[in-house]
Amino acid sequence: MLRDFAVPEATVQPVTGTAVAHSLRYRRALWDSATVDALLRHLTGHGRRAVEGLGDDSLMRAWESTVEEFLDPASEPRRRLDPMWSQACALSPAGLQAGVQAVLGGVRGRPLRQLLSQAGRAEDDSLISVILAANLPALAVQPLLPALAARRPVLLKSPSSEPFFAATFVTRLAEREPRLGEAVAALTWRGGDARLERPVMAASGRVLAYGEAETMARLRRSLADRLVAYGPKISLAVIDDGEPERIAEGLARDVALFDQRGCLSVHAVLTTRDAEALAQALARQLSALAESWPPGPAAPAQMAAVQQLRADAALRGLCMPRLPIRAGSVVVETDRGLEPSPGLRTVRIHPIASLEQAPNLLMPWRNRLQGVALSARRLETIEPFLRRLGVSRVAPPGELQSADALWHNGGAHPLDVVGAPRAGARHPSAIGE
Amino acid sequence: MVEQRVREFIRRPDDAEFNDLALAAFRWQCERSPKLRSLAMRRGHSPGELRDWREIPLVPTRSFKTTQLHTSPPQVIFRSSGTTQPRRSVHPHGHLDLYREVIEQTFPSACLPAAPPVPMLSLIPSTEALPDSSLAFMIDHVLRRFGTEWSAVAIGARGVEFARARSWMGKAQRHGQAVVVLATGLALKQLLDVLQRRDLRFRLPRGSVLFETGGTKGRVEQISRQELLAMVHEHLALSAEHVIREYGMTELTSHFYTAALRGGDPDLFIPPPWTRVRVLDAESLQPLTAGKEGLLAIFDLANLSSTVHLLSEDLGVLEDNGFRLTGRAEGAALRGCSLAAEEFAQLSPSEP
């Protein structure tokens, strides 16, 4: 039976009960402050020493083998996890697999080796706590890997709507390398339980949190500079070159992956090319992707927002290729203002006369843009500007969402985030690794 | 001519005439709005070919943010509050007499505990403070038309003016005549919070009514409906059947009220006879039967200024002779690889 927690074997184990999520039963930990205190003592004492003595090779072997296992939908943990996981992430099974491949595919092989080779031991070896979000499957690996590379103990707080991946991953990691099992815990609790949250906050040298702006502001007030906030951002595409059908194929992937819920999901397109032709091609590709990566369940509230957008486009006589609402929506927008998509694979295409017009349109989004899918011959016209805007990733259409372990999420090197000194002179660029 | 027919219908509704008048109103609007005319033509029908009011194209509330929709020279331009949305709806209103007529035909029966004039305390800004608010326009008219001389407005730029509200409620308590308190959800919550903090309880006279409109989402700490009603009961001595909810919007002219004062369900909104409310499947936009959740589509004969047939952003279910609100379209939002961190922070101490 799945569990919503994974804690070191040698610490006090929580009392558990049986619970039901998405019609499936699982074992749920019932945390109390004494058990959480014991866990925190273990992680920051025995756990910290255990991970300190771990060599790169041992860490890499255990990590890579665990990642490979979770990439395989036929593996034992995936067969147990998937029925719950796809529902908790509101993704179709095929959409989940595509998302898992995008996330886990980036934390193995060359980027993994490179990250480990760059990582020095952190002087500050205190606990890192990570507050995870539910919109992306397997998100836990992104902060976990650099924290372990820095040899710091880690507490992963899963969202209560999806507590299973992190717990299952940590369990399998610990089975391969028990020293990691001593230093990492994954657990969840309903937000607001001060008995549990206060000691976790107090014991953490750094808290990495994924959340909305208000949440980040609130956490900032209590954590000050101990907080690393992954606040809300969106991504878009700038298309100045390329064969339309090929570009559209890539854009459709960047839109549809994670059902447009990631911060690297494309919401809007600026193009100097034939916007209506691109819209038609993108609609065809989204239609095809709706077959291979069927969308997950859509909430009526989200459909309502998309219906508003569609009905408004109809009233204004905008170009809007026919697509079932669940497959996506593509609108050629005459309004120059960029807006976030309401979701459900909805994209607005904004025609521009030349690349030189892009900066003015993008400027209001300074520090709120995470990535740009870029197809342009004259990269020098736009790339430096994107850096100044705070864009952390630029990639060709179709590759934007496949960030790897070296990605500077939010503009910061992953090792800097966990306080690890970086060995070696060659640091990857903040843009387009 | 159409305006006159609509006004007469509002005064003396006749179901048999509704369809003809609805089609006439739409034709009238199309003559004045190229956007509406083109929309109808793109749907394959000229306005004159339509036979049923349900065939009249729906205009989404979003279009009030993107498009000029007015059909008549505006007498006033109403705008949505714009506090939670980056763009504001704009509704140039050219039929204010019709708006007043609607208020006079619906407000008293839904909200007045006795024959007017009735003492009223308003926690809703006046048109002097918010000249482009349709709600302020409505409340000004209500106060002028149905309030007593000692009715008062107790809200300013910084929110509820507590001292004034407290003094007014004290006077009302002593006076003994049933009163009406008019409030937005946000102002009501502000008032109740202060009353709670100061441990103050008023006993508003028997029969008094609380008129409540709008929500508080994203503005104040959310509490459940039940908790709010419990606070109203504790601090104002008003029970749920004396709380009248109003549902209206900048993009419409008519309002919908719950019928709690007449013994109706306190959460069921009753459409007035010159409106029709349908619930549409959020995916197909096909009409749904009672009990199924979908998008609210509202036909409002009085909304001659822009569109008579509106696709709202609200979700609801039809029930008996009314509808219940169940949700709202999710606003476009930035995605932070992040949706659930707020549950962690929601009740976390903001100070050490």
Task: Quote ipTM for the complex.
Answer: 0.89
Q: Is the CB of residue B350 less than 8 Å away from at least one CB of chain A?
A: yes
Q: How many CA atoms lie within 13 A of A401 on its CB side?
A: 31
> Averaged over B30-48, what is the pLDDT?
92
The pair phi, psi for residue A25, each rounded to 5°, is -85, 145
- pLDDT of B25 strictly over 80: yes
* Residue B330: predicted pLDDT: 73
Per cent of chain A over pLDDT 90 is: 79
Structure tokens at A253: 């992937």
Strands B294-300, B275-280: pairing is antiparallel
Closest-CA residue of chain B to A262: B337
Reference B118, options B160, B152, B91; nearest CA is B152
Which range has the worst mean pLDDT, B20-34, B205-219, B336-350?
B336-350
Closest chain A C-alpha to B333 CA, distance in angstroms: 6
Confidence of residue B334 (pLDDT cuts 50, 70, 90): very low
Per-residue pLDDT reduced to its tens digit, A231-260:
888 999 999 999 999 999 999 999 999 999
Using only C-alpha atoms, chain A has a radius of gyration, in whole angstroms, of: 22
Contact call for residues A155 and A204 (beta carbons, < 8 A): yes
Sign of CA dihedral A399, A405, A406, A410: positive
Residue given tokens 């949440």 in the structure block: A215
Q: How far is CA A194 from the centre of its chain?
A: 27
Per-residue pLDDT reduced to its tens digit, A156-182:
999 888 999 999 999 999 999 999 999
Confidence of residue B348 (pLDDT cuts 50, 70, 90): very low
pLDDT averaged over every residue in chain A? 92
How far is Cα A407 from Cα A103, in angstroms, rounded to an integer?
11
Q: Is the CB of residue B4 less than 8 Å away from at least one CB of chain A?
A: no
* Residue A257: predicted pLDDT: 96
Contact state of B60 with A317 under an 8 Å Cβ cutoff: no
Q: Is the CB of residue B332 less than 8 Å away from at least one CB of chain A?
A: yes
**Could you tell me which residues come within 8 angstroms of residue B226 by beta carbon, excluding any fewer than 6 positions away?**
none
The CB density around residue B324, as the number of other CB atoms within 10 Å, is 18
Residue B338 has its nearest CB partner, among A133, A260, A325, at: A133
Contact call for residues A145 and A63 (beta carbons, < 8 A): yes
Q: How far is CA A82 from the centre of its chain?
A: 18
Per-residue pLDDT reduced to its tens digit, B226-273:
999 999 999 999 999 999 999 999 999 999 999 999 999 999 999 999
Contact call for residues A159 and A149 (beta carbons, < 8 A): no
Contact call for residues A188 and A109 (beta carbons, < 8 A): no
> Averaged over A92-118, what is the pLDDT?
96
User: Mind spelling out the 3-state secondary structure of A271-339?
Assistant: ECCCHHHHHHHHHHHHHHHHHHCCCCCCCHHHHHHHHHHHHHHHHHCCCCCCCCCCCCEEEECCCCCCC
A330 forms beta bridges with A347
Confidence of residue A6 (pLDDT cuts 50, 70, 90): very high
Sign of CA dihedral B42, B47, B52, B58: positive
Q: How far is CA A430 from the centre of its chain?
A: 17
B317 forms beta bridges with B324
Per-residue pLDDT reduced to its tens digit, B65-94:
999 999 999 999 999 876 556 688 999 999
Residue A191 has its nearest CB partner, among B331, B332, B345, at: B345
Residue given tokens 């952003």 in the structure block: B313
Reference A401, options A71, A97, A102, A86; nearest CA is A102
Confidence of residue A101 (pLDDT cuts 50, 70, 90): very high
How far is Cα A280 from Cα A322, in angstroms, rounded to an integer?
9
Strands A184-187, A154-157: pairing is parallel
Closest-CA residue of chain B to A312: B63
- pLDDT of B350 strictly over 80: no
Contact state of B348 with A343 under an 8 Å Cβ cutoff: no
Provide the 3-class DSSP secondary structure of residue A400: coil
Residue A340 has its nearest CB partner, among B59, B61, B332, at: B332
How far is Cα A2 from Cα A6, in angstroms, rounded to an integer?
10
Reference A135, options B344, B342, B343, B340; nearest CA is B340
> Averaged over B146-169, what is the pLDDT?
95
Strands A127-131, A154-157: pairing is parallel
Per cent of chain B over pLDDT 70 is: 90
Number of A/B CB contacts below 8 angstroms equals 207
What single letter denotes the amino acid at residue A74?
A
Confidence of residue A190 (pLDDT cuts 50, 70, 90): confident
